[in-house]
Structure formats: C-alpha cells, structure tokens
Structure 1
Amino acid sequence: MTHPVDNVLSGIREAGRQAARRILPKRARDFGSRALDIISAVRCVGVTGCRRLTAASAEGRSTAMTAFTVRSLAHPIWIRHEQSDVNELVHTVFRKTYGQWLPETAPRWILDLGANIGDTAAWFLSRFPTARVVAVEPDPANHEMALRNLRPYGSRAIVVNAAVWPTDGELVFLAGDRPSGSRVRAAQAGEPTSCTAISIPTLMRRYEIPEIDVLKCDIEDAEETLFRENADPWLSKTHHLCIEIHSPAARAAVLNAVARHGFTGRPYRDIHVFRKTARF
C-alpha cells in the first residue's frame, strides 16, 4: 500500500526538479542529477556496492555478471558488466522512477512492458508483496536476464519473450547499440520476421487478468502504435499508467488515448504518470 504522504512528497520533489531546470544551467543540473544517483546508490547498496557498480560499468560489454543485494529488493539482482545495466538499476531501483504517485491500495496485477533485465518488475514485486507481474521483453538476451532475476519471486512473476503490440503476430526485431535500446516494427511485404508480437487483451486472457492495476511501458517508441490502435478495450480496464514517451507522435497518441478514458497525468523525470482514481 502506498501512503498518501508518499504521493505528496513525489509532487514536491518533481516541482523542485522542474524549478531547478528553469533556473540552473545544464552543467549544474547534470552535476546535481549525478550527485543524486550516487547518493541513491550508496543508500541502496552501500559504498562497497557502489565501487562494484563502477567497476562493472567500466568494463563495457562483457559476458561477466554480478549479483547485487539491494535494500529495496526482496532478492539479489544480477546485472551484466556494462553501462546500460548499471544505468537501468540506478534509474528504476535506486531512483525509484516508476514508484511515483502509485495507487494507494495494493495492486493485484502489474504489466511491465519493456521489462529489460527485470529490474522494474523486481522492484514492483518487492514493493507490493501480494502483487503479480507480467513482464514482457522482446530482446532474447534481456529476456534471459529477466528470467534469472525474477525466478526467485516464483509464480508471482511471469516473464514473456515477446513485444507488446496492438495485435498478435510477428514483427521485425531491431537490436540497439545498447541492450536497453532495442526496437520492433511491423514487417514490410516479404520481409522476414524475428520477434513474436502479443497484444494486451491476449495477455489478459492468457493469465486471467480481470483488470490492470498498474501498467508500466518503456517500449522504445512502439507506444505510438500501441496507444493509437485498438487501445480502448484494455485502457477501459486499466487504472494506472507509467509511460516513457519517446517521440512527439507517440506523445500525441498516448495523450489522445488516455483522455478518452478519463485519466489525469503529470510528468516525473522522463516518464509520464496517469491515473483514473483521482486528480494529482
């Protein structure tokens, strides 16, 4: 359960951040953000853990992996020795980016679309001990990491190797220059496909999800298509959204869709949070 005071504090923090963006030069803002990253990391893994994180990020892409015990997670989390995984851990677990303005009643079902290495799902499962999470990730290597990280949570964690899309089918998978930057798109005529597409209604039927209490979405601009096409059936059964929006076209598609269903929203760092239950 999220205490109402936590949501008030989220608003104060974001108001302060927005004020700093207006007043401070970019160099000062970057320094402040980096300082908060370090403070959050020390609080979560200690000084020794921070040194291990620094060593892991310095190696570049590597087959080596390290497990970290984090105060806010019920089980250790594995990361690969590369900057992308370190950044994910800082962004989602240490800084709790997806933990702002959460429902004040404990969620039962959470969809994590673009689950990466399972870091956000692990945070949700630890924060809400009775919740179940369906984590959807198209990148095969990230999917394997998510399986490793979410296995200790047992049947509460369901990991799906697919890309979420308005309809079921097949897509083209495009690997990015970092593990967190892969994308998918529709195939052109005669083009071979390389990724399974699954719709949110199919996920809800398959796992018997009556309503989506929290939907987290970071799918590298595919949110434009997801919210533009066939979104009404599942949005009508969704109560809370945390979305990273990657383009002006995606922003328009998301805002048009959520407006039809009575969501109100506000930004926090690089995500947008929307909810139906009450205004912020």
Structure 2
Amino acid sequence: MLQYVKHVGKYLLRPEYRLSEKEAKKLQLIKRQPRFTVIQTDIFPSPLWMVDSASFVFIYSEIFKQEIYKFKTSNAKPYILDCGANIGLSTLYFKDLFPDAEVVAFEPDTKVFEILAKNVQSFRLTNVSLLNKAVWHSETKLQFYAEGADGGRITNDIKEANVVEIETVRLKDFINRPVDMLKIDIEGAETQVLEDIADVLSYIDKIFIEYHSFVNQEQTLDKILKIIKEAGFTYYINQVGIVSQSPFYEKKAFLGMDNQLNIFADRVK
C-alpha cells in the first residue's frame, strides 16, 4: 500500500515521472508487437516507424536512456558520420543533441533505408544526408544478408536466405575534413574499414565502434585497438548484447556472433 501511495504521489507531483510512466507503457506495447513488422509509434513528439519491435526497444534504451552516443564538442555545427544508421534513432539523437549538426547517415538495407528516410522526413531534420549504401574500403558491389532488423551484414555466403547485392562507398572519401563523431556499427565490417582509414584518423575527434566477433572466425579486436591507440586515442570498452556467463563451459551465440563490444575512442588532448 505504501509503495502505491508513493507511486501516486510521484505521478501527481513530478511531470518527469509521469513522462517516464507513459514511456514505459508505450515500450511495453511495442514489445508485444510481432517481430520484423513495420509499425508506427508515438513515443516521440513526431511519428516514428520501426522495422522490428525487439530491436527497437533495445536500441531505444541504448541511445535515449543510456545515451551511449552522448559527447561534448566546442563545435556548434559538428560533422557526424553515422555508419549503420538503421531506422535513424542514432541520427535523431545526434540532431537532438546538436540541432545544427551536419550528419551523413549510411544504411545499406533498402527496406530499412526506406524507414530511415521516412523518419528523417517525419522529424523534419535538416542538414542530414542519407546514403543507401554500406561503408567499405572501396566502391564496389557486395553480397549483403538483409536480416530485417539491426543485424544485416556483408556476407560471403551467397546461398544464405535473404542475401541481396548492395553498393558500397569508401568511408575514407568522407573524412577529408574534421569529424567530430564517427559512429561505426556495421556488423563485422568494422576492422576492414578502420584499417583503410587509419591514416586519416587524425581528422577525427571521437569514434564509437561496435565490435563483432563471429563463431569460428578470426577475432580482430587486437587490430582495432592497435589502430586507434597508434592514432592517439584512448579507449573504453563495454560488453553489450551477447553475454556468456560461463564462457569456458559454453559460449552463447546470436546470428553467428559470439561477442559484441562497444568501444568508445576519445582523442588524447
């Protein structure tokens, strides 16, 4: 009874608590929706569409509750490269944090890209460039596993279901001026891309990298950390998504991945 009274008191006296309660109810409603289905939500002031309920709830929590992309800059109009923009939650966050920012958002999955473009239009975001291409170390065409949510990735298995051909751009071509934030969440292609841009990392102030380790494939975390350390960055690492409590006994895997890490690289001043 006492807990209920406290709850009612907070709800009546604290607007931010009411907002949190409404937000939680909307997230619960989204969780009950079928996966891999396009649905609309009013969790934001403007309508937003998603391609998958489960991945939305997870990404929303990371970006808007934990604020993993939050950063400081003295630049009133920061230049941000959003590699792996998905439906646009990261782009929305960056533009909310810095309304005058210039954002270039890359998303190779055509169906997901359509929702990204729709959300950017719904929020009337300006100075945002959208590219329906994957970032890579060259301009070419590659096979891409369109997972339908946030797990799409470049693949060599052309016999796998939902594999389509996509176009790529060379990320290095976009790093010809100071970059305030480089976000890389590209499902396993991060090492090849970082190796290609290693000699232009001096342009970049902050880098976010989601590292992916795949079952029975060479791990490349050491290569990534060596590149960013030699470029003058310090790093902080968080484990995310896949967690194996007893990895000596059993390693858990999801979509072929057995480990995911968030790497936050900050330039040494």
1:217 equivalent to 2:184? Answer: yes
Q: What amino acid does structure 2 have at the position aligned with 1:105?
A: S
Question: What does 1:115-134 correspond to in 2, within 5 Å?
Answer: 115-134=85-104
Please report how far the alpha carbon of residue 269 of structure 1 lies from its aligned counterpart in structure 2 after TM superposition: 5.1
Matched position secondary structure for 1:68? coil
Aligned residue number for residue 40 of structure 2: 65
| CA distance, structure 2, for counterparts of residue 138 and residue 181 of structure 1 | 12
* Pair 1:161-2:152 in alignment: no
Separation of aligned partners in 2, 1:250 and 1:226: 12
For 2:189, give the aligned amino acid. Answer: A
Residue 82 of structure 1 is matched in structure 2 by 53
Aligned to 2:30: 56
Deviation at 1:246, TM superposition (A): 1.1
Look up the equivalent residue of 2:185 and give its one-letter code: D
Q: Which runs of 5+ in 2 are unaligned?
A: 1-15, 241-261
The structure whose residues are more often helix, as a share, is 1
Equivalent pair of 2:110/2:132 in contact (CA under 8 Å): yes
Give a deviation string over 1:12-37, Cα, whole Å, max 9, x none.
xxxxxxxxxxxxxxxxxxxxxxxxxx
Once the two structures are superposed, residues 21-69 of structure 1 have per-residue CA deviations (whole angstroms, 9 ceiling, x without a partner) of xxxxxxxxxxxxxxxxxxxxx8695323322221222122223322322
- Aligned letter for 1:64? I
5+ long unaligned stretches in structure 1: 1-41
**Alpha carbons 1:171, 1:187 under 8 Å: kept:** no
Q: Residue 172 and residue 82 in structure 1: after superposition, are their counterparts in 2 closer, same or farther (change >3 A)?
A: same
Count of aligned residue pairs for this structure pair:
222
Contact kept? 2:134, 2:166, Cα under 8 Å: yes
Cα distance between partner residues in 2 of 1:170 and 1:234: 24
CA distance in 1, matches of 2:39, 2:228: 42
Q: Deviations over 1:74-110 (max 9, x none)?
A: x5543346211222111212221222xx234235200
Q: Take 2:18 and 2:178, find their aligned partners in 1: how far apart are those partners?
A: 32
The one-letter code matched in structure 2 to 1:222 is A
The residue that corresponds to 2:169 in the other structure is 198
Q: 1:275 to 1:140 in 2, by over 3 A?
A: same
Cα distance change, pair 86–197 in 1 and its aligned pair in 2 (3 A): same
Q: Provide the rounded CA distance (Å) in 2 between the counterparts of 1:187 and 1:124.
A: 34
Percentage identity across aligned positions? Answer: 25
Distance 1:51 1:83, change over 3 A: same
Alpha-carbon separation, structure 2, partners of 1:76 and 1:258: 38
- How do 1:97-246 and structure 2 match up within 5 A? 97-99=68-70, 102-106=71-75, 108-151=78-121, 152-176=123-147, 179-185=149-155, 194-204=165-175, 210-228=177-195, 230-246=196-212
| Distance (Å, rounded) in 2 between the aligned partners of 1:242 and 1:83 | 23
TM-score between the two structures when normalised by the length of structure 1: 0.71
